[in-house]
Structure 1
Amino acid sequence: MKAIWNDTIIAESDDTVVVEGNHYFPFDSIKQEYFKKTDLTTFCGWKGMANYYSVTINGKTNKDCAWYYAEPNDAAKKIKGRVAFWNGVLVK
């Protein structure tokens, strides 16, 4: 699987976990140079507190387009250490 934004691969892995239709990529598969943590957090009743990254490529930023659960609830422990994407990031 590949996550692509702004014509650039930002993550690539054969080991994604699909939850609610989203592919969660291992942290070590993301291209760290494009990612910056943001202050946004959201809460999911069964997964827990999500944190976000923005991605910047060639001067363009996709704000809060990647999320992860640093300490997911037990029901979602299989996505610990993984990142998922939305907001225009193509996953294929």
Structure 2
Amino acid sequence: MRFILAMLLAWAMAGGASAQSVRIDKRIIQVGDSEAHVVRVAGPPDRIVTLEARAGGAVGERWTWYHVDDPHNDRSLVIRMRDGRVVDLESEVHR
């Protein structure tokens, strides 16, 4: 019982959830997809940040969309890209 309660509490406190795929309208973006596929499905990102290693040098990019699906929607999407492929997705609903 304590384990279930702890898991529910951790889930409730999590701001965004990392996932293997995300659905936009009727299309899906998943880990391993190309940059071109992501832009076809989600459109151009609102922001792109280059991710750097501690010693310097680019190791990937973080693409952010602030209003996914609809300008009046409060759902954001963050996708981390490496070598032109999706390596992580995070979708969050702002309340």
**Band the TM-score falls in, shorter-chain normalisation:** 0.3 to 0.5
Q: Give the structure with the larger helix fraction.
A: 2
Q: Give the structure with the larger strand fraction.
A: 1
TM-score scaled by length of structure 2:
0.38
TM-score scaled by length of structure 1:
0.39
Structure exhibiting the larger radius of gyration computed from Cα positions? 2
